[in-house]
Each structure stands twice: as structure tokens, then as C-alpha cells.
Structure 1
Amino acid sequence: MARNHRETQFAPARLAQQHARDLIESLGRLYRTPVASLLTACVIGITLALPGGLRLLLTQLDALSYQWQDTVQASLFLNGDVDAERGQALAASLAEREDIAGTRFISREEALAEFRQLSGFGEAIDAMAGNPLPAVITLQPSPDLDADGVSALIEALGERPEVDQARLDQAWLKRLYAVLDVARRAVGLIAVLLAFAVVFIVGNTIRLDIENRREEIAIMKLLGAPDGFVRRPFLYSGFWYGFGGGLLAWLLLSICLLALSGPVERLVSLYGNDAGMAWLSWRESGFLIASGVLLGWLGSAWTVGRHLRAIEPR
């Protein structure tokens, strides 16, 4: 009874030793075929880097669109019977609202002067009998409002009696959001397809390894080796393929981001935006490597389960 207790006590330690041995031995097998192992890891790394890079691109565009939303302005064209004093009072009252970040009142005279300066039709404007331009209140919606909230705000302001017409220059931003939604779905589909590709790549590599060790596996089964003992080295090989592919994907993305950081920051600065380059965070880096490990293990488990059953000792 004491012997059985000791065996039960040391069974987890013995199992941990077996796993550690198989982990190291599988890495040694890959080390003895460096070219083939490196090529497989490179293919996995490139396959993982593609959706990762597209996701970072979408993250960068999301950050830019969020800050571009702060530059969206609405214009309230006032009725002709609204004088400058009444227009200034209206602009001041609107600026006190929580859903409006700021306002600016432009009188008819100021609007005409700006148009004369920017259009280059000064002589034609001087020949006109009167001032055809209305007074305008430009306002900036609160950045806490989403697209629907901004639209509702402008619609409500357009119904005020002092306002003849309310316009919001946000159509381009809505188109950008629509494009980003389509791109997110496309990146998700691409990621799923490439995940299957990684599983097939690892599975095919493990299949070739099983065929090369077919006689060895048959002898192990003839000696009574359990299926778990035979399967474990191949599972760890898939683990190492996925781990190496994840590391290479992280390295490729880091190199690409480093090469693009300067041009992207200069481009962003031209639009008056202070959003920096979206780099890989620790969580994203860990997720990328963990995804490679999981896909490598799945590819190995799928192949080992299918092919080991077909090998029987004669």
C-alpha cells in the first residue's frame, strides 16, 4: 500500500519529466533540420503577419478618424432678418450647451470680406448692389457625440426660427466609417482563412515527419507504447513551429512599423493631427505569438490523430 502511495505521489512529477523531455527532444529534431524548419516557420510567420499588419492599419485609421471627428464643423446660415447683435447672442447661448464644444459668429460683413479675400472676385463683388451672403454661426459638436448624435443635433438646430439652413460637413467621415466597417469584416475573414492555412501548413509538415518515422512508430507500438507517448513529440513539434512562426510574425511587423513610422508621422502632421504610430502592445504581441502556438498545435493534433491510427505494427 505504501508503494502504491509513493507511485501515485511521484506520477505527476514523472509525467512532467516526460513532457519536458519530449519538448526538448522535439526542438532538437527541428534543430537537426534547420533549413526545412526555418522555411516552415517563415511561411507561418508571413501568414500571421498579414492579418496582424492589416489590423494595425485599421487601428491607425481608427485613431485618425477619432481625431478628425474633432475637426468636423457645422454651419448655421441665419435668416436675413437676424441682425449681428441677435446672432452673437444666439452663438453665445449655443456655446453653453454640453453637446457643443464651441461656436463662432460670422456677420454678413465679415462673410463678405472673407469671400472677397479668398475668391479673388473682389471687383465683381464691389459691382453688386448689396450683400447676398447671410450671417453664419460655425459650431463644433462635442467629441463625446457619435455620428447619430451629431446628426440629431444639427437637425434640431436647423429647426430653430433664426436658422435658415444647417449644414454639416460629415459625409466624408461617414464614408470613412463605412469603409472601415467593411475593412474590419474583410480582415476578420482573411484572418480566419489564413488561420486554416497555418493549420494545413503545420499539418502537412507533421505528416511528412510521421511518414519519415513510420518504421520507428511501428516499433514503438509493437513494444506497447501508448498512443499518448507516440503522439506527444509531434504535438510539441507543432508547438515549436507555431511559436517560431509567431516570433517571426512579430519581428516582421516590428520591422515594417519601424520602416513606416517616419512617413506615417509626417503624413499625419500634414493634417494637423497628433496621433502617433500604432505600435504593437505587449498584449497584441503576446496574442500574436499565442495564436501561432495554438494554430501550430491544432495543425499537429489534427494530422497526428488522422495518420497515427493508420500505422500498425506488422
Structure 2
Amino acid sequence: MRRSRKKRSARISPRSSLRADIWLMRHLQVALASLGRLIRTPLSTLMTTLVIGIALALPSGLYLLLGNVEALSGNWDGAASISLFLTQKASDEQARKLAAQLQNDPAIDQVKWVSKAEALDEFRQLSGFSGVVETLKENPLPSLLIVEPNSQHTEPAQAEALLTRLKKHREVEFAQLDLQWVKRFHAITEIAQRGIIILASLLGMSVLLIVGNTIRLEIQNRHAEIEITKLIGGTNAFIRRPFLYNGAWYGLFGGISAWLMVSISLLLLDNPVEQLAGLYQSGFQLSGINFGTLLILLGGSTLLGLAGSWIAVGRHLNEIEPS
């Protein structure tokens, strides 16, 4: 019995693999034929592709812009820094040791130590009371440690937890973090993210309508061909296949054009942004679309084109019957 089952499986597997090869070859032929049909009408294909590209480039560009703004805010001095005011009894040596200890903390990116003398000199220069400062018998200002958390601890909840932990050091008398600024910034970015999602959804629906209307017009232009195909026994699945590939090609080309539009826009803005950053002694540079984001853009645009063509074909193909 076991031998007979093995013989049956051996007989079936070549047939199934052959059917799979034939299925793949048919789809490849239809895909290439659909691509050739689009290439033969370059003007209409280009216009449809550019419209889809513009619809996809807007949310993609805003998404990149938001990411660059968040990266820029991470480079601002004091964006999420914690100020640790040490006690008057803490010596410079104790402050230096505490700074070295905090520098080894994995949650902290950088620690800047401002000694008592440096704090007094800065106060003398900025306050305008240099004459009064000279009359002081001793320095009333404490040492200061400016702690900058790393990128994983700039969220309000994480920054507040780090602040609570730093307060426990016996050399620290007072710790300060501008949580209101951090919370406001993250609230703004969250609103921007949701706005981009809403805009991307609306423009995604517009891509569906664009592709659907284009496929509908193509179905009408090939009305007689579809009737003849049905008369000779062609199924709806067979007739639907080239239109679905048309929609997928439209979506893919639209995603590529959106990527080109965003990349060219960033290239044009790169030099002015670099010059502006140089005026503020910053090495900030605009970041473009990475490989993962590009795959999501192309995959999403292709799926949108496929969905738009599926809706259009499903609605209008059943209305065509041979008379």
C-alpha cells in the first residue's frame, strides 16, 4: 500500500508542477502584453501615471518632511535636556566624578559639566550686574550638569522617568526638565502624523478612482473585443486578467513617478537647507526615501492600482454580454 501511494504521489507531482509552470507562463504573457499595450499609448499612459504620482508624492513628501523635522529637533541644544543643579557643598571633583558616572548611563547621550566659576562668569557676562558680582565674597552659584538623553529617552514619559532617577543622586539638589515643551512638541508631531494618514487615505481613494475610471474607459474601447471573446467561450476571469495587470502597472509607474518627484524636490532643497544649517553651526542634512520606505511606496501604489482596476472590471465587465 505504501509503495502504491508513493507511485501515485510521484505521478501527481510532475503534473501539478507542470500546471503551475503553465499558470505562471500565462500570467507572465498577460503581464507583458498589458505592458506593451501601455507602451503603445505613451501619452495617455504618462498623463495617468503623473496624476497618480502627484497624488502619492504629496503624503510621501509630508511624511519625509515630518521625519526630517523630528531628526532636526533631536539636534537642537536643550531640546530634551535635563539640568542638574548640585548642592553648594559639592566640590568640582565630586561634580566631575558624577558627570563621568552619568556618561556611562545607557539612557544618556551626553553630559556637560558647568563649574561654579564658569557659571559665575556666564552670569557676569549676561546679567549686566558685573559690578555687583565683584562685591560678592563667595560664589553663590552651584555646579551644573546638563544631561542630554539619547533618542530612545526623549519621549515625555521616558524623560520624566529619567529625571526621577537622576534626582536620587545625593549631590543633586534640584533637577529641571521642560516637560511642557517636550509634550507640546510630541503633541504637534502626533497631530501631523494623523493628518498625514488622513491625507494619504483620501489621496489613496483618489488613486482608486483614477485607475478605475481609466480602466472603465479602456473596457468601453474594447467592448467589441470583449463580446467576441465571450462568444468563443472566454471566461470573465480570462477577460479580467489583462485589465488587472493594467491597473497594477499604472500603480507601479505612479509609485515610481512619486519617488522621482520627492527625490528631485529633496535634491533641490538640499543645498539651501545645508546653507541655513551652516549659519546655525549645524551639520543637519535632509534625509531621503530609504529602501524600506521605497518598497512600501511601490507596493502600496501597485496594490492601489490593482484594487482600482478590480473594482472597475467587476462592475462593468458583467454588463457586457454578447447579443
Give the alignment's TM-score, normalised by structure 1: 0.82
Query: Any unmatched runs of 5+ in structure 1?
Result: none
Q: What residue in structure 2 maps to residue 135 of structure 1?
A: 142
- Contact preservation (8 Å) 2:80, 2:154: no
Tell me the secondary structure at the aligned position of residue 54 of structure 1.
Answer: helix
Answering whether residue 26 of structure 2 is matched by residue 18 of structure 1, we say yes
Q: 1:220 to 1:65 in 2, by over 3 A?
A: same
Shift of 1:260: 1.2
Shift of 1:239: 1.6
Q: 1:8 to 1:38 in 2, by over 3 A?
A: same
Tell me the secondary structure at the aligned position of residue 250 of structure 1.
Answer: helix
What is the CA–CA distance in structure 2 between the aligned matches of 1:137 and 1:158, rounded to whole Å? Answer: 13
Q: What residue in structure 2 maps to residue 189 of structure 1?
A: 198
- Contact preservation (8 Å) 1:198, 1:296: yes
- Deviation readout 1:4-28 (Å, 9 max, x if unpaired): 9998775444444433332233223
Between Structure 1 and Structure 2, how many residues are aligned?
Answer: 305
- Contact preservation (8 Å) 2:240, 2:313: yes
- Deviation readout 1:240-285 (Å, 9 max, x if unpaired): 2112111111111111111111122333344444343212222322
Answering whether residue 232 of structure 2 is matched by residue 223 of structure 1, we say yes
Answering whether residue 217 of structure 2 is matched by residue 208 of structure 1, we say yes
Q: What residue in structure 2 maps to residue 284 of structure 1?
A: 293
Give 1:97-108 correspondences, 5 Å limit: 97=102, 98-99=104-105, 101-107=110-116
Letter in 2 for 1:50: L
- Contact preservation (8 Å) 1:94, 1:103: no
- Contact preservation (8 Å) 1:76, 1:137: yes
- Deviation readout 1:130-154 (Å, 9 max, x if unpaired): 7795324223144253443432343
Q: What residue in structure 1 maps to residue 52 of structure 2?
A: 44
Give 1:107-256 correspondences, 5 Å limit: 107=116, 110-123=118-131, 133-143=140-150, 145-147=153-155, 148-155=157-164, 157=166, 165-169=174-178, 171-256=180-265
Tell me the secondary structure at the aligned position of residue 321 of structure 2.
Answer: coil
Tell me the secondary structure at the aligned position of residue 276 of structure 1.
Answer: coil
Letter in 2 for 1:102: V
- Contact preservation (8 Å) 1:111, 1:133: no
- Contact preservation (8 Å) 2:113, 2:145: yes
Shift of 1:234: 0.8
Shift of 1:299: 0.6
Q: What residue in structure 1 maps to residue 275 of structure 2?
A: 266
- Contact preservation (8 Å) 1:102, 1:139: yes
Shift of 1:200: 1.2
Greater mean alpha carbon deviation, residues 52-61 or residues 253-262:
52-61
Aligned with residue 74 of structure 1, among 66, 82, 86: 82
What is the CA–CA distance in structure 2 between the aligned matches of 1:216 and 1:16, rounded to whole Å? Answer: 24
Tell me the secondary structure at the aligned position of residue 311 of structure 1.
Answer: coil
Tell me the secondary structure at the aligned position of residue 43 of structure 1.
Answer: helix
Letter in 2 for 1:46: I
Q: 4+ residue stretches of structure 1 with deviation over 6 A?
A: 4-9, 128-132, 159-162
Q: What residue in structure 1 maps to residue 6 of structure 2?
A: none
Q: 1:274 to 1:174 in 2, by over 3 A?
A: farther
Letter in 1 for 2:46: L
Aligned with residue 43 of structure 2, among 35, 51, 64: 35
- Contact preservation (8 Å) 1:48, 1:249: yes
The alignment's C-alpha RMSD in Å is 3.2
Aligned with residue 62 of structure 1, among 53, 62, 70: 70
Q: 1:172 to 1:11 in 2, by over 3 A?
A: same
What is the CA–CA distance in structure 1 between the aligned matches of 2:55 and 2:171, rounded to whole Å? Answer: 59
Greater mean alpha carbon deviation, residues 172-181 or residues 37-46:
172-181
What is the CA–CA distance in structure 2 between the aligned matches of 1:270 and 1:179, rounded to whole Å? Answer: 26
What is the CA–CA distance in structure 1 between the aligned matches of 2:129 and 2:207, rounded to whole Å? Answer: 64
Tell me the secondary structure at the aligned position of residue 102 of structure 1.
Answer: strand
Letter in 2 for 1:88: D
Q: 1:288 to 1:6 in 2, by over 3 A?
A: closer
What is the CA–CA distance in structure 1 between the aligned matches of 2:112 and 2:292, rounded to whole Å? Answer: 41
Greater mean alpha carbon deviation, residues 30-39 or residues 10-19:
10-19
Shift of 1:124: 5.8
